[in-house]
Structure 1
Amino acid sequence: MFGKTHSTKTADVEKKWLLIDAKGLVVGRLATIVAMRLRGKHKPSFTPHIDDGDNVIVVNAEKVVLTGRKRDQKVYYHYSGFIGGIKERTAKSILDGRYPERVVVKAVERMLPRGPLGKKQLGNLKVYKGPDHPHAAQSPEVFDVAKLNPKNSRSA
């Protein structure tokens, strides 16, 4: 009467390579789509304890958009471990700085589960600030996030 529950084995996982152009995309909306793809929740064969998500390449990370006044007001904290060692930087300072791709990486990282599996899935994310990437050999298929929903993209 009922079918058997399917559980994917590590050997059965087929990973695709996706290329996303982040130019003009809203950070949070981009991050939710990327996190879902990294986890593999878009697949009917999703298994919570197995890394069956895709590999995602994000280019033009320096051209992402934050809505409202978040660019000036959003603050990223990091703690050195020492007394009084909490440091803070605004999103604007990071996006205008040397590694603007960290805004996208942090947004996705905080949407993935904590623990060994989450770290492994985050390893399948490659983010580059410019339009170039060294993964042409993987022949990634272009994934248009802006086309999914008109709210996903904005002009800066």
Structure 2
Amino acid sequence: MSAAKRVQQWATFARTWHVFDCKWQDPYESAHVIKKYLMGLHKPIYHPMNDCGDVVVCINSKDIALRGNEWRKRAYFHHTGYPGGASWTLAWELHNKDPTMIIKKAVYRSMTGNLQRRHTMQRLFIYPEDKVPEDVMQNVTNQIRQIRLVPTRLDHIPEEEVKNFPKIMDYPEDYVLK
């Protein structure tokens, strides 16, 4: 086997580290994308009995976006394992307690049928902000593309760009808002 083929084979079987920005992303749509990389579905050598998945680092999990009334209507189940230990928690309450938990539960649930999903979830690192330990970030070699585009906030647009933006009309000087 030539050296080039050996390197290609090593790269195919190696675990790659990916980063995914969760800002303004739907956690349930994002979970299907993250699942592909965690399980290794994007690799040509994938097999259900083969553990060839990569490592995914999720950042900005506190800025996720749920659709419509999901924050108030969606409830998450948890059981402690003891009698009477069942509880239901609303999404906004769970997110206030732990901003990483909704992404974690969405990814875990998206891997139904995967017998190794508890082991696979150990390769998922979730951080509520973009502050990630340096030893984790130095391993990252790829960025997963976001599903939705993140709009720019109006207060983050420079004044010069706002002034140069073409206007449809100018208000008269004596105009009063009612």
Q: Normalized against structure 2, the TM-score is what?
A: 0.71
Which runs of no fewer than 5 residues in structure 2 stay unpaired?
1-11, 152-178
**Over the residues paired in the alignment, what is the CA RMSD in angstroms?**
2.3
Q: Distance in 1 between matches of 2:37 and 2:139?
A: 17
- Inter-CA distance 107–153: structure 2 relative to 1 (3 Å threshold): farther
Please list, as runs of the form range in 1=range in 2, the aligned pairs for 1:144-155 lying within 5 A after superposition: 144-146=145-147, 152=148
Please list, as runs of the form range in 1=range in 2, the aligned pairs for 1:102-141 lying within 5 A after superposition: 102-112=101-111, 113-115=113-115, 117-134=116-133, 135-141=136-142
Which runs of no fewer than 5 residues in structure 1 stay unpaired?
1-11, 147-151
| Matched residue SS, 1:140 | strand
Matched, 1:84 2:84: yes
Contact 1:51–1:120 (CA<8 Å) still a contact in 2?
Answer: no
Q: Distance in 2 between matches of 1:110 and 1:62?
A: 19
Matching residue of 2:99: 100
Matching residue of 2:14: 14
- Deviation of the 1:38 alpha carbon: 0.6
Q: Distance in 2 between matches of 1:137 and 1:154?
A: 25
- Deviation of the 1:90 alpha carbon: 0.5
For these two proteins, the number of residue pairs brought into alignment is 140
Question: Deviations 1:31-66 (Å, cap 9, x if unpaired)?
Answer: 010011111111111111121111100000010111
Identity score, percent:
23
Higher RCO, 1 or 2 (CA under 8 Å, sep at least 6)?
Answer: 1
Matched, 1:75 2:75: yes
Q: Distance in 1 between matches of 2:117 and 2:82?
A: 27
- Deviation of the 1:114 alpha carbon: 5.0
Question: Deviations 1:70-100 (Å, cap 9, x if unpaired)?
Answer: 1111101112334433211111111122x11
Contact 1:60–1:130 (CA<8 Å) still a contact in 2?
Answer: yes
Q: Normalized against structure 1, the TM-score is what?
A: 0.80
